[in-house]
Structure 1
Amino acid sequence: MTPSVSASLAVDLRVQPVDGVLDRVERSFQVRLERDTVVRKRRSLGARTDRDTWVRVERRLLDKIGGQGWNGTECVARLEGIAQPEWHGCIVWRDADEPVMWRADETELLPGSPVGTAVLSKDPKLSDEWWQAFNSSLNALAAQHTARVATPDTVTIAQSIVTESIRSVFPGDFDTKVEEWVPAHADLNWANMTAPAFCLFDWEDWGNAPRGLDSASLWGSSLAVPALADRLWQERRCDFESRDGKLMTLFVCSKILGPHAHPEDPRLEPARRMTKQVVAELQTG
């Protein structure tokens, strides 16, 4: 039996009882989850199994499951040239008490530990080999073709959302129209990649997005570590110097500098400096 909570309340799986969910996953996959390895996030869970695989479980409201479904991990498994865990299978069920669906995907184990939390506060000291694998995977992803549309934070990205987000923080005389849409991970942060061996995981939101979304998102997660943010900018220079990459830089910074900005966020000042430069370039370009 899955846990029942009023759909009007925000459910956080970091604190919500989840034993019933994990029990159901074990029965369906005919596997034992090693409960001492369980990783709990706001809307997902993960655990190692007794057959040396990993199971990720996600809870999603029905109105957050669009026409393309929410089978990102399954769909990305067919793509070549991307360092990702091999996908084995999945189970999906509808909650008996809420307008919610649950999905569990079983994959091979990650080749390393997550680089860190979503937003880093210290340099992870990544190797040149790591950066090469990172670039190779992002370039291979952007070269794919898909009908999927990215859903960062479970919201389908669209031109209207890009324009609204940018204009809400950066008014100015420049065009916000995106020219190039390419496949993107759409949740690229330091908690979704491994080191010392590079691997990219948590693919539930991938799909077409403005060019540069992934690079800008990761850059925004790196601003508290200037050397890391600078290295990322150099590695993904082709994205950041493109017109769409500049728009995505503003898009990401609108979330950092917007009305919900924390006054002590160390990313505020570097974000302000960069956005001033980017706005000027867009206005004169």
Structure 2
Amino acid sequence: MSLSVSSASAVDLRVEPVDEVLGRVERSLQVRLDGGSVVRKRRSVGARTDRDTWVRIERRLLGRIGGQGWNGTEQAAVLKGVAQPVWYAGLSWREAERPVMWRADETGLLPGEPVKPGGVLVADPHVPDAWWEGLNASLDALAAQHTARVATPDTVPVTQGHVTEVIRSTFPEASDTAVERWVPAHADVNWANVTGPQFCLFDWEDWGMAPRGLDSASLWAQSLGVPEVASRVRAERRADLESRDGMVMMLFACSKIAGPYAHPEDPRLEPARREAARLMDVLQTR
């Protein structure tokens, strides 16, 4: 079968044929993938196996991998105190004629379903108090550890220059975007990457060092369409989000929502703009 996903340009795996890729993974990992469980996303495909594990497969251009590689899920297996699926095995290969890499990771099954599998959060998910305790314990434990990895949300390394560029591209009046403290972060904490009612954080391919508060600010920003949930995130992650770096990260997250590709009907849009104005005022005095 000739796959159109062999193109070196960006593709959407939700619509491209991936049968050949799935077959290669089955042969290499010696598993059978359950076709009825396949979940297709823009740059990844996942499925349950016949040994009650999960396999996630991602396609990435070589230029989006960099010197640290892209075995984030494997490297996250050494983290202590973080609720995440157990990692079992990994596989990667390069396409013969294109600058494209594929990677498959086999992990344990999630303890529940994603809180919000896709789209924007528009209603309170009503996760229990124990869920918030799990979130806090995991993010605090993660930030206390050490890594040489650099976080790459959306496959872009987080640097001071990138933070400043993203914020000022949306809010050019932002005067001081300097970050003081960098800690390990998941770098893609959102309602689609956490399970409920039992907390578990998955999709670790982009974790690494990032400004303090990135993960807390990301979940807060993704909750802005539901004010009571955004307020709960701020209360639970107060230590991060009331720090100066945390506020810079909140502004960074707002910039992504209110940037040039903002959707006028996004329920997070106006709250993000209001919060950005407040944050810029506060940061001027810090």
| Counterpart residue type for residue 106 of structure 1 | E
3-state SS of paired residue (1:209) = strand
TM-score calculated relative to the size of structure 1: 0.97
Whether 1:21 and 2:21 are equivalent positions in the alignment is: yes
Aligned to 1:141: 142
How far did residue 260 of structure 1 move? 1.2
Structure 1 residues 170, 81: closer, same or farther in 2, change over 3 A?
A: same
User: What is the match of residue 183 of structure 1?
Assistant: 184
Q: Distance in 1 between matches of 2:273 and 2:191?
A: 22
Query: Structure 2: how far apart are the matches of 1:174 and 1:14?
Result: 40
For 2:226, the equivalent position in structure 1 comes to: 225
In 1, the alpha carbon distance for the partners of 2:200 and 2:119 equals 15
Percent identity over the alignment is: 68
**Range with bigger deviation, 52-61 or 263-272:** 263-272
Per the TM alignment, residue 72 of structure 1 is displaced from its structure 2 partner at its CA by 0.4
Q: Which residue identity does 1:275 align to in structure 2? A: A
| Partner SS for 1:13 | coil
Q: Which residue of 1 aligns with 2:40?
A: 40
Contact between 2:82 and 2:139, CA under 8 Å: does it hold in 1? yes
Q: 1:2 to 1:26 in 2, by over 3 A?
A: farther
- Which residue of structure 2 lines up, in the alignment, with residue 260 of structure 1? 261
Unaligned runs of at least 5 residues, structure 2 = none
Q: Is the 8 A contact 1:90 1:103 kept in 2?
A: yes
Contact 2:61 2:99 in 1 (8 A): yes
Aligned residues: 285
- CA drift of 1:6 comes to 6.3
* Most deviating of 7-16 and 60-69: 7-16
Which residue number corresponds to residue 110 of structure 2? 110
- Partner of residue 79, structure 2: 79
Deviates more, 1:96-105 or 1:200-209: 96-105
Letter in 1 for 2:159: A
Name the counterpart of 2:210: 209
Over the residues paired in the alignment, what is the CA RMSD in angstroms? 1.3
One-letter amino acid of the structure 2 residue matched with residue 222 of structure 1: S
Q: Deviations over 1:139-189 (max 9, x none)?
A: 000001100000000011111111111122223363211100000001111
Is residue 76–residue 203 contact of structure 1 (8 Å, CA) maintained in 2?
yes
2:279 equivalent in structure 1: 278
In the alignment, is the contact (CA less than 8 A) between 2:5 and 2:16 conserved in 1?
no
2:214 aligned partner, one-letter code:
L
Unaligned runs of 5+ in 1: none
Shift of 1:237: 0.8
For residue 225 of structure 1, report the CA deviation from its aligned partner: 1.0
State the distance in 2 between where 1:276 and 1:162 align.
Answer: 17
Paired with 2:173 and 2:250, the residues of 1 have a C-alpha distance of: 15
Residue 118 of structure 1 deviates from its aligned partner by 5.3
Shift of 1:8: 5.4
Paired position in structure 2 for 1:58: 58
CA contact (8 A) 2:34 2:49 kept: yes
CA distance in 2, matches of 1:2, 1:58: 18
Distance 1:227 1:2 in 2: 49
Shift, 1:120, TM fit: 1.1
Q: Does 1:70 align with 2:95?
A: no
**SS of match in other structure, 1:271:** helix
Please, which moves more after superposition, 254-263 or 16-25?
Answer: 254-263
Classify the secondary structure of the residue corresponding to 1:107. strand
Where does 1:192-207 land on structure 2 (aligned, <5 Å)?
192-207=193-208
Any idea what SS the aligned residue of 1:77 has?
Answer: helix
Deviations 1:198-241 (A, max 9, x none): 11110000000001111111111111111111101111011111
Asked if 1 retains the 8 angstrom alpha-carbon contact of 2:8 and 2:98, the reply is no
State the Cα distance separating 1:31 from its structure 2 match.
Answer: 0.8
- Preserved CA contact (<8 Å) 1:2 1:95: no
Do the aligned residues in 2 keep the contact of 1:58 with 1:102 (CA within 8 Å)? yes
Q: 8 Å contact 1:4–1:97 — kept in the other structure?
A: no
Alignment partner, residue 151 of structure 1: 152
